[in-house]
Structure 1
């Protein structure tokens, strides 16, 4: 598929989509301020129409969806029987169809699994890539474009992260959370509207930001993502993903037993950390780069970015028992660099059966 944003002056485009339009750091600032929008060719849409769609998705996923109201944004995970993350998607229902926005690398696998699980239910999922594209930005920035309205309701998903959704649970001990002021939404638009947006950007009437800027803001907010932070061993607990993607009090679904056992009685074997990286701003660790204490590898980098305020930062998965005050280093192409650890998931996360539960609210949620 030809990328309609390739003709935009300064555009750097690869197979994943528009990476930047000249200055990723400036684009981050403009994107966070609501002055730019970001084409998300790295995301794709699955449409799920049918009378049984919500109860069906509820029975398959980690999220409580049976009573999801039109216009309410949430997200789901599909787990294997051992509770490991297999697929993930953002969720929005318009009263007639449930819309799933998934990372493009995951969409075929997610769709194939959904198709196999239909049985005799009244659902008919389809990949809607030929019909729709995804555009990201702040909620105010997306008011400059025209989301699709197949049932009369604009298809705009608002990221609930890092607020604690109903039935969710927060592990990160930091308050306020680094993502507390995060304002992120994704609009599903027709392919004609996508082309109109591209034409406006070429003419200089609309400002764009690339995927490099999008990902840097995500990393700074400690926001997990399927493409970057999930491997075959990943449990939602390890990524603090119980906040927004898991309902701990809903009915039975595949992987639920592990979710409950780890949360109530045990501890996740690994944990997410945020890293502030020393060294040259121009050298970032690759995905999968080793995180070390001395010569001992204790984890791997899952995401890394150069942030417009924080400088070089990363997310990493480390052993649960990695000391929170341990001096860490990270492998890069230019040698190891020092990394200051910020605790996202603490070593004692889980084992909450006898711990009083305190709901944590982001500043934005508390203000509403």
Structure 2
């Protein structure tokens, strides 16, 4: 088959969500152009999202499906993640790497028993579909872009308000930061990770019913039975939240994003992405040598950090800005946002050699580090003894 989508052709107009017509909507930019950055009240939007009462328009995101009886085993051969045995409705993610182990694609993955759904960045949908189509060979699989559906974001169980709608297709619950079986972490244990209490989800709905789904979410909903304030509690009304609120939760959770944290040199270790995106014992896939070599023998050359920016500054540095230690550039800012509790915060990728207690500077704004990926660059999966250390040179000649 040929993957063609004329609605996203180069000369087609840029996507603009119909929800930008809602009161107070201010359009986002960069990878979130076409949907609302906020609806006039970013602070309360963040709070509503964190309570499970906020709904984020992510209808610009890309959706690709794979059908056919060979789909799971085929995707497993391409992916860093172990997909064999994936149960219908289970949420996972996979990384597709180049031959040197650099991240190229990072879709969310869910199978519904008939097709595998891949949710990805707006700009990645066409490249992902084209890559998969080229890799089909003679297998019984079909790849399709799905512009007939749209994605909505929720947190704290808010997706349950969408699930009963007849236009709801599926909900992917973000596994981050729960270290998957067969994987390892370069950051703190799951229980100590700041993302462990942040439960984000992506729901896929029919695009032709997007406005109706949103209106149903915004309608008052009764407090669930069994909660402390259920008796006599007023019905809770949902509210629209922008990508500002969505990104604030993501940065708080140290969650890497393909459109922000990844560049042409990124390997998963640098972003602590092995914990949810890589299985260390699965079969061969492109880039596996780099994954194994860095875990067993090496250290990632860079590391993800969270930056707490000087709140007295009247501006927020833009993604892509240089991170400096004195006069020396040591990395780049990847994401920045004003969090309603934490203040101005950011994610950045810096050289692993940068001291964890060093105060950095981004575009003239002082920044204190919070360690995400350990500076020693070692995980618990590293063998106690270097593989092959017991072999002598003459043994190798036999």
TM-score over 0.5 for the pair: yes
SS of 1:350's partner is coil
TM-aligned CA distance change 1:290 to 1:259, over 3 Å: same
In 2, the alpha carbon distance for the partners of 1:284 and 1:201 equals: 32
Deviation track 1:131-187 (CA, whole Å, cap 9, x = no partner) reads 10001102631222247889xx95110000011012221111365111110111111
Q: 1:57 and 1:322 mapped to 2: Cα distance?
A: 38
8 Å contact kept, 2:157–2:199: no
Q: Is the 8 A contact 1:291 1:297 kept in 2?
A: yes
Match of 1:185 in 2: 201
Asked if structure 1 preserves the Cα contact closer than 8 Å seen for 2:165 and 2:213, the reply is: no
Match of 1:4 in 2: 18
Unaligned runs of 5+ in 1: 357-368
The answer to whether residue 186 in structure 2 is matched with residue 171 in structure 1 is yes
Distance 2:261 2:60 in 1: 15
Aligned to 1:343: 371
Alignment partner of 1:75 is 2:117: no
Query: How big is each residue's C-alpha offset from its partner over 1:202-232, in whole Å with a ceiling of 9 and x where there is no partner?
Result: 9896411011110111001100000000000
1:230 corresponds, among 238, 249, 262, to 262
Compared with structure 1, are the counterparts of its residues 319 and 114 closer, same or farther at alpha carbon in structure 2 (3 Å cutoff)?
A: same
C-alpha distance in 1, partners of 2:312/2:63? 38
Q: Could you tell me whether the CA contact under 8 Å between 1:83 and 1:256 is conserved in 2?
A: yes
Contact 1:146 1:193 in 2 (8 A): no
Runs of 4+ in structure 1 over 6 Å off: 147-150, 201-205
State how far apart, in whole Å, the 1-side matches of 2:246 and 2:204 are.
17
Q: Distance in 1 between matches of 2:165 and 2:268?
A: 31
* 8 Å CA contact retained: 1:279, 1:338: no
1:278 aligns with 2:295: no
Q: Quick check: 1:34–1:138 contact (8 Å CA) kept in 2?
A: yes
Please tell me whether residue 301 in structure 1 is matched to residue 333 in structure 2: yes
**Equivalences for residues 86-97 of structure 1 within 5 A:** 86-97=104-115
Partner of 2:383: 354
The 3 A distance-change label for structure 1 pair 65 and 147 is farther
In 1: Cα distance, 2:35 partner to 2:319 partner = 19
Superposition TM-score, scaled by structure 1 size? 0.90
Tell me: CA distance 1:148–1:207, structure 2 relative to 1, closer, same or farther (3 Å).
Answer: closer
* Closer, same or farther: CA 10–281 of 1 in aligned 2, 3 Å: farther
CA contact (8 A) 2:17 2:60 kept: no
Q: Secondary structure at the match of 1:346?
A: coil
- Alignment RMSD: 2.1
User: Secondary structure at 1:31's aligned position in 2?
Assistant: helix
Q: 1:292 offset after TM fit, Å?
A: 1.1
**Match for residue 159 of structure 2?**
142
Structure-2 residue corresponding to 1:361? none
2:344 matches 1:312: yes
State the shift of 1:7 in Å: 2.3
1:74-124 Cα deviation digits (max 9, x unpaired): 000110000000111000001110000001111111111001000011110
Alignment of 1:36-47 (within 5 A): 36-47=54-65
Distance 1:29 1:341 in 2: 25
Following superposition, the deviation at residue 327 of structure 1 comes to 1.9
Q: Secondary structure at the match of 1:37?
A: strand
Counterpart secondary structure, 2:251: helix
2:282 equivalent among 250, 263, 269: 250
Offset at residue 353 of structure 1 (A): 3.1
Is the 1:139–1:158 contact (alpha carbons within 8 Å) kept by the matching residues of 2?
no
Query: C-alpha separation between the residues in 2 aligned to 1:63 and 1:22?
Result: 40
Distance 2:166 2:94 in 1: 23
The answer to whether the 8 A contact 2:94-2:107 is kept is yes
Which residue pairs with 1:13 in the alignment?
27
CA distance in 1, matches of 2:328, 2:25: 41
Contact 1:43 1:134 in 2 (8 A): yes
CA distance in 2, matches of 1:64, 1:79: 14
2:141 to 119, 123, 129: 123
> Which residue, out of 103, 106, 121, partners 1:85?
103
SS in 1 for 2:319: coil
Residue segments in structure 2 that go unaligned for 5+ positions in a row: 1-14, 221-236, 386-398
> Aligned ranges for residues 177-216 of structure 1 at < 5 Å?
177-199=193-215, 206-216=238-248
Q: Which is higher, the Rg of structure 1 or of structure 2?
A: 2
CA distance in 2, matches of 1:2, 1:231: 26
Q: Secondary structure at the match of 1:243?
A: helix
